[in-house]
Structure 1
């Protein structure tokens, strides 16, 4: 029995250490996803060590300490996305309707034809902005029924699972569709004019994931995130970045994006809000994201009901404050982070200068 416990512990150590290697291969980067599931397995193995092995053995204690170390390491990454952590973004304390912005982000899954379910959510929650990913021409024909209520839009229907649409009740200024890293993967960029008169710089993203069937490496996805992150870092404007980033909230690369951009994650201290996969409750991760500058506080954030896609929609209601809140601080990038970010963008020969900066000349 000891040999099997030893083999299981060695495997646990391997899958725990593998993501620390910064190689962009999909198999390595994919180990960032199931940290919570790995933590549960580590806990089960730890209990098995205690109850099934002779605790008088030094080797058994080595297995126990090693397994416990792996458990603590995995939990270090995911615990910030629970109620056990201090919230990174303050809750909105004043009711200021003219300064509120509600965003509904939904990866609709192109073959899914249950558009009415999404339209019903729009009618129910009345978002100011609807962002759809994987929306093709058929989805556009259905979503265009919203134009009477949400007359401002950006449309890029595609059949390759990377179509994107934005519908808005608020004016969209300097709107632009860009293909930052890959010629068939769009992103959208615009200023949203609030009822209070202020403008919010928004970036809508859906980079391709690292996978054996698409990109063997995460370089394309990571480069797009770093480009946008560096682009918004020096901005004094209120900023929001949202979309399906095809990366989990707690990964090293998303954490790097937060450091490089200086943006905040409203989920920290509130919950994981796992949006993928709808059909597998025990294999769910937060792939749909919303990050924002310190100008905002949070009224609510919630995962909505299924619309027939493999992703749940994500709803966030934010309040734009007159000034950035100095008590809201994110992560800081050190020299090593900056070097890693440069290696990522250099590998794809891209830079933040290619990212549209709506309102930057105002």
Structure 2
């Protein structure tokens, strides 16, 4: 008879623990993608497009890294060094507008209502409670536009509904003194309007590019934003809507260099399921250097696959 000596056979580790190191490495690499895209973009547009798509998921990467390292660090303490990467999503995002509370506020709301949605009642209820000055509606259809019934609140309107996802509307409490409908090479429109707000001439753009499903769409979205930022950098400007880009995207590189800043930060807006949990912050407000943000928030469920965004902004007297 043989007697077993020593510690005997070891119990196999749970599979989740064995794959944790690989997951930690994957998530760590994902957190570095925004930095990598800023280098690769100058070399290969196709590679930049692919990396940019992956870079959107920074909140998923930071969550995955935290969990996987926590499972690994007890057996391999040196893996805890990866936790120093946790702040990266807040360090690699393009900067947000400064917070100040001085001066009169302009309240703006951007809402992607989903082209298949024909019931504006939830949005209208929220709009009436918030009383914004300017409302940009993305993916507005003819059916939605006909039932909107906000003429009493917004006497100045530019409404261009469509049957595809690129219908737009811009509604204002303040006079629209000029506006234009600008189509890109593929027929995707944006609304550019000049408002008279308290004696100030303010440019507001309702913006919704094609999703970057191809390298060409990625490049076109970035070029459109770069052109807008370059042309409007010297005047008080608000660009708002569904950018199909997160704060880590190369889409905001050129606007940032021109002095523009995002407002709504990192809170997910799409998909709206479960309150946007682990989604992407692609609906936003982009401000020229003339503005500060006094309040920013994500709106309620408006029966869309997107959450709306609200910003209270004020002109910065130091940047007039």
Q: Same fold by TM (over 0.5)?
A: yes
Q: Which residue of 2 aligns with 1:133?
A: 138
8 Å CA contact 2:27–2:62 kept in 1: the answer is no
Higher strand share: 2
8 Å CA contact 1:92–1:299 kept in 2: the answer is yes
Q: Map 1:19-30 to 2 at 5 A.
A: 20=36, 21-22=40-41, 23-24=45-46, 27-30=50-53
Structure 2 alignment gaps of length 5 or more: 1-12
Q: Which residue of 2 aligns with 1:315?
A: 310
Q: Which has the larger radius of gyration?
A: 2
* Partner residue of 1:241 out of 231, 239, 242: 239
Residue 3 of structure 1: how far off its partner (Å): 7.3
TM-score for the superposition, normalised by structure 1 = 0.73
8 Å CA contact 1:24–1:217 kept in 2: the answer is no
8 Å CA contact 2:21–2:72 kept in 1: the answer is no
**Deviation readout 1:124-175 (Å, 9 max, x if unpaired):** 11111111000011111122x2123312111211111010011111111220
8 Å CA contact 1:156–1:163 kept in 2: the answer is yes
Q: Which residue of 2 aligns with 1:297?
A: 292
* Partner residue of 1:283 out of 278, 281, 302: 278
* Partner residue of 1:32 out of 46, 52, 55: 55
**Distance verdict in 2 for CA 1:9–1:89, change over 3 Å:** closer
How many Å separate the matches in 1 of 2:215 and 2:166? Answer: 14
* Partner residue of 1:12 out of 17, 23, 27: 27
Q: Which residue of 2 aligns with 1:118?
A: 123
8 Å CA contact 2:209–2:242 kept in 1: the answer is yes
8 Å CA contact 1:205–1:243 kept in 2: the answer is yes
How many Å separate the matches in 1 of 2:24 and 2:133? Answer: 50
TM-score for the superposition, normalised by structure 2 = 0.82
**Distance verdict in 2 for CA 1:4–1:308, change over 3 Å:** closer
How many Å separate the matches in 2 of 1:121 and 1:13? Answer: 40
User: Are residue 274 (structure 1) and residue 271 (structure 2) matched?
Assistant: no
**Distance verdict in 2 for CA 1:72–1:292, change over 3 Å:** closer
Q: Map 1:87-166 to 2 at 5 A.
A: 88-94=97-103, 96=104, 100-143=105-148, 145-166=149-170
Q: Which residue of 1 aligns with 2:261?
A: 264
How many Å separate the matches in 2 of 1:38 and 1:113? Answer: 36
Supply the RMSD in Å over aligned alpha carbons: 2.7
Q: Which residue of 2 aligns with 1:202?
A: 204
8 Å CA contact 2:116–2:141 kept in 1: the answer is no
* Partner residue of 2:172 out of 168, 172, 177: 168
**Distance verdict in 2 for CA 1:14–1:217, change over 3 Å:** farther
Residue 262 of structure 1: how far off its partner (Å): 0.9
Which moved further from structure 2: 215-224 or 27-36?
A: 215-224
Q: Which residue of 1 aligns with 2:218?
A: 218
The alignment covers a number of residue pairs equal to 296
Structure 1 alignment gaps of length 5 or more: 56-60, 82-86, 327-362
SS state at 2:92 partner: helix
**Distance verdict in 2 for CA 1:6–1:272, change over 3 Å:** closer
**Distance verdict in 2 for CA 1:225–1:294, change over 3 Å:** closer
